[in-house]
């Protein structure tokens, strides 16, 4: 069976001396060295009796050893459990109680977390040390569970998502054409799944030299220096980092940005194109289905810009070839080989999956529509629509438009005590103009706020629940 491990092995044979990973300290690890490290760790952990099917909870810095550990555990047939990083210790506790792992894999200070989570106290600790012996490589089967990850938890407790080796390979097949290039690219990668795709493709991934959970501390100058120092040619980053990129100066050989993990507003796309003359590709997807659709900025017409400015929503492009997409009661639903079929908890599957014959549809929870050309437009989350003077209004209908108004840095449409309200973070000198424009959408209230809270995972989605709590105080 073709899987990510076999693709990685083929890449090692093809380009053994090429840099596979540049870590946050600038250390370069070749494909051959990464494979050797994975084999060392597999030998070490086989001696600790890790068996095929064992669940291993992992808490490690995002560095080359993390990817070597993934490869090592997969070669032993283990299932890796990745907690939701944005939840910190609470996410680790939730993952431990939900999946009941057989071992805990951690490095450095992360190893101390074992003593803070009672479910981990009696488990063997796997730390990346010096391996010994020759590990017995387990031949994985397509339906073997490769890893268990979690949703972001923005709409409730994070849900555990089992991913088989066949699923990861299908995800690779869906993403790989998007990243394909005839050039020797050096990709700055902020999404671990794209690093896995690059390892399978024999392409260099440069990891961030900042903590992904502390994006607010990253200055545009630090981002600029990292881009220049590592000769980055492409960046795979969330919109929050794109905003810092716009503020950066000389970005060196960078020529393309792939961005997703939150709404990518047209004003941000245009800023990237005009400020640094970058090619921009917007990718829409979810934890359960990545990718769903993508959009090259060059394909956004003047008519599309006008549509987004007048309340049509956010254009995200054509669905990817490997996915089937339908709209039911305004909700976007998808099916395909790289769409997960269920959750660890059957109750979550019952709530979020629809089975029709042999097809399992995933309910994204996102509202939207397909235009006459078959392109997808987003409106916001199902249930986020608010009744205004002109009818029911979804957030993106006004937010995408408002992002293009003078003086607006960020905005969010919510229902407050005062009624339907557009909260705007930006220059309050424009408040009167914002209010006049909002009335055209039937929105009676516009307020200026100092800061709009964002999600903890990518700092790219409005935390509407937190914003409403702030407004109520």
Whether residue 240 is contained in a domain is answered as no
Q: Which of 150, 168, 186 is the last residue of a domain?
A: 168
Query: Same domain, yes or no, for 49 and 162?
Result: yes
pLDDT of residue 163: 96
State yes or no: pLDDT of 131 exceeds 80.
no
pLDDT, residue 135, reads 83
Dihedrals phi, psi of 146, to nearest 5 degrees: -85, -45
The β-bridge relationship of strands 256-259 and 279-286 is parallel
Q: Is residue 161 located within the same domain as residue 45?
A: yes
Q: What percent of the chain has pLDDT over 70?
A: 98
| CATH code where residue 155 lies | 3.40.50.980
Residue 430, pLDDT > 80, answer yes
Whether residue 461 is predicted with pLDDT greater than 80 in this model: the reply is yes
Per-residue confidence band for 216, with pLDDT thresholds at 50, 70 and 90: confident
Which residues, in sequence order, are CB contacts of 360 under 8 Å at separation 6+?
335, 339, 341, 342, 353, 354
Residue 215 has pLDDT above 90, yes or no: no
pLDDT at residue number 377: 98
Confirm whether 403 is domain-assigned: yes
Statement to judge: residues 349 and 422 lie in one domain: no
Q: Is residue 215 part of a domain?
A: no
- Do 41 and 153 share a domain, yes or no? yes
Q: Are residues 367 and 352 in the same domain?
A: yes
According to the model, what pLDDT value does residue 134 have?
Answer: 76
Domain count, the chain: 3
Task: Answer yes or no: is pLDDT of 136 > 50.
Answer: yes
One domain, residues 372 and 466: no
Same domain, 378 and 395: no
Query: Above 50 in pLDDT, residue 409?
Result: yes
Which residues span the domain enclosing 459? Answer: 390-472
The answer on 459 and 312 residing in a single domain is no
pLDDT at position 325, please? Answer: 98
Domain membership of residue 11 (yes or no) is yes
1: pLDDT confidence band, cut at 50, 70 and 90?
very low
Domain membership flag for residue 399: yes
Looking at the structure, tell me whether residues 373 and 305 fall in a common domain.
Answer: yes
Regarding whether 463 and 395 lie in a shared domain, the answer is: yes
Average pLDDT, the chain: 95
pLDDT at residue 369 tops 60 = yes
Last residue of a domain, one of 332, 365, 383: 383
- 364 and 405 share a domain? no
In a domain, 190, yes or no: no
Kindly report the CATH number assigned to the domain that includes residue 447: 3.30.300.30
Which of 133, 168, 203 is the endpoint of a domain? 168
Contact call for residues 446 and 421 (beta carbons, < 8 A): yes
* Statement: residue 463 has pLDDT above 70: yes
For the segment 434-453, the average pLDDT, to the nearest whole number, is: 97
């Amino acid at each position: 069976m073709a899987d990510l491990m076999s693709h990685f092995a083929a890449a090692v044979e093809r380009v053994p001396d090429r840099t596979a990973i540049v870590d946050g300290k600038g250390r370069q690890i070749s494909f051959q060295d990464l494979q050797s490290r994975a084999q060392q760790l597999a030998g070490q952990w086989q001696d600790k009796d890790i068996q095929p099917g064992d669940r291993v909870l992992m808490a490690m810095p995002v560095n080359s050893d993390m990817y070597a550990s993934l490869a090592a555990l997969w070669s032993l047939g283990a299932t890796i459990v990745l907690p939701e990083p944005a939840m910190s210790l609470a996410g680790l506790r939730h993952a431990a109680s939900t999946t009941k792992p057989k071992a805990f894999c951690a490095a450095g200070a992360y190893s101390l977390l074992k003593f803070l989570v009672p479910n981990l106290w009696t488990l063997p600790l796997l730390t990346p040390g010096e391996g010994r012996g020759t590990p017995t490589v387990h031949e994985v089967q397509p339906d073997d569970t490769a890893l268990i990850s979690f949703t972001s938890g923005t709409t409730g407790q994070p849900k555990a998502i089992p991913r088989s080796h066949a699923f990861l390979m299908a995800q690779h097949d869906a993403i790989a054409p998007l990243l394909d290039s005839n050039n020797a690219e050096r990709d700055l990668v902020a999404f671990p799944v794209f690093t896995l795709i690059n390892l399978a493709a024999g392409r260099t991934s440069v990891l961030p030299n900042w903590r992904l959970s502390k994006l607010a501390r990253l200055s545009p100058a630090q981002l600029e220096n990292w881009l220049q120092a590592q000769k980055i040619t492409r960046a795979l980053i969330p919109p929050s980092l794109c905003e810092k990129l716009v503020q950066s100066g000389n970005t060196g050989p960078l020529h393309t940005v792939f961005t997703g993990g939150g709404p990518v507003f047209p004003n941000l796309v245009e800023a990237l194109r005009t400020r640094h003359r970058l090619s921009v590709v917007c990718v829409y997807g979810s934890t359960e289905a990545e990718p769903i659709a993508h959009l090259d900025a060059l394909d956004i017409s003047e008519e599309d810009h006008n549509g987004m400015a007048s309340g049509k929503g956010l254009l995200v492009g054509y669905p990817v070839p490997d996915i089937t997409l339908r709209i039911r009661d305004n909700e976007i639903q998808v099916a395909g080989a790289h769409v997960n079929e269920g959750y660890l908890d059957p109750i979550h599957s019952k709530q979020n999956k629809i089975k029709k014959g042999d097809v399992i549809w995933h309910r994204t929870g996102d509202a939207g529509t397909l235009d006459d050309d078959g392109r997808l437009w987003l409106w916001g989350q199902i249930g986020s629509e608010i009744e205004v003077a002109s009818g029911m209004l979804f957030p993106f209908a006004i937010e995408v438009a408002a992002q293009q108004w003078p003086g607006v840095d960020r905005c969010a449409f919510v229902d407050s005590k005062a009624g339907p309200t557009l909260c705007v973070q930006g220059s309050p000198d424009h408040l009167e103009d914002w209010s006049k424009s909002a009335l055209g959408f039937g929105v009676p209230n516009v307020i200026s706020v100092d800061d709009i809270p964002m999600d903890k995972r990518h700092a790219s989605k409005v935390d509407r629940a937190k914003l409403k709590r702030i407004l109520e105080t």
